[in-house]
Amino acid sequence: MNTNNERRVVVTGIGAVTPIGLNFTDFWGNALKGKSGVRPITLFDTSQYAVRFAGEITEYDPINYMNKKVARRMDRFIQFAYTASQEALADSGLDLDKCDRDEVGAIIGSGIGGLRFIEDQKQVILEKGPSKVYPFLVPMVTIDMAAGQISILMGLRGPNFAVTSACATGTNAIGVAYRHIKSGDADVIFSGGTEAAITPISLSGFAVARALSTRNDDPKTASRPFDANRDGFVIAEGAAILILEELSHARKRGAKIYAEILSFAATADGHHMTAPHPEGEGAARAMTRALTKSGLNYDEIDYINAHATSTHLGDLAEINAVKTVFKEYAPKLTLSATKSLVGHLLGGAGALGVACAAKSVETGLIHPSINISEKDPLCDLDLCESGMKKREVRNALCNAFGFGGHNTAIILGKIKD
């Protein structure tokens, strides 16, 4: 293992399970077309709920990706992560049998974890008594078991743990994995975020907090970041896992490289439990720190994968932060909102955003922001609202923010010698 200070980190594999594709290839193709994955909820009866739609994954069957015994010991959020990890591994071309598995790890986060199975087992207690609770309840629902199961099933013996920071989780996990490789703690890390929290309690909790859109009559247009008539986010589920790899390790085996991770930064608002700082002060500091660490000037960023939840306060705070950081250059940026397509994957959202940013760096294609029918005049930037855009993406920035005032920013760029 190379442990000098010149260690660089690249993305060599991507996997995803999303409402518009059960793999990253299908997701990306549908994203470029501007397809919506928001639909009425089928996981449970929502007839008594104020909100009856979500970014639900309707065609996923874990038995297509793992045997029944393994599937029965995983909550849905873990199943998503394992499926995405399998795809990322295949995409990377990495042969684990030729790797030193002591140097391969898994750092994967979730904002909520196995809430669905907790709710199910609570009902078991009420109906059948406490002795009938499933024996694997605890390891099935704890947030660290996405990384743990991947480590166990793939034989990974490097750094292995979870990161959780609400909706900044996926980006935070990737940032922490980047730092572990950079510092010499591992050569390869499976990293990202996963969530499966479309459940009665979760839906109820977000709804009574007035965080969710209530467009039950037109779900596909409900997630509308930056639109003047946005009325809340759309809860969704899924996972995105990236293979992060030390550059010389990747080059030695002739790996395909999507992009290089140039920097990561995290800050806190110190402001409010759920509301962002109105001027995006913490978000601006995260972006500024990421730029400083990357060594780039602000006019060297071409694309921002925006956090863009479709909440009134959140979208405006992010736009204010972008204008603060990028000044007169802000109108020359292209921003796009992945959540407009699939809804908000919560702990998985940031990782899917990083995956999109890496793919845009590689291809020069930026997926659109959909459902912007009346652009908020205060969000007067290029939001890619007219469809897929082709432009060179030398460097891309990915934002993710979370309840609790968590702010993260990652910068990716084209690989250079």
Active site residues: 167, 307, 344
Single out the residue of 255, 223, 184 nearest to residue 338, CA to CA: 223
Q: How many CB atoms lie within 10 A of CB 130?
A: 9
- Extract the tokens encoding 372: 């912007």
Q: Please state, in angstroms and rounded to a whole number, the distance separating the CA atoms of residues 306 and 283.
A: 11
Torsions phi, psi for 27 (to 5 deg): -55, -50
Nearest to 230 by CA among 247, 250, 213: 213
CA 323 from centre of chain: 24
Helix axes 312-326, 281-294, angle to 10 degrees: 40
Pairing of strands 39-40, 53-54: antiparallel
- Read out DSSP for 127-171? HH-GGGS-TTHHHHHSTTHHHHHHHHHHT--S-EE---BTBTHHH
Q: How far apart are CA 174 and CA 178, in angstroms?
A: 6
| Cα angle 291-255-306, degrees, rounded to a multiple of 5 | 35
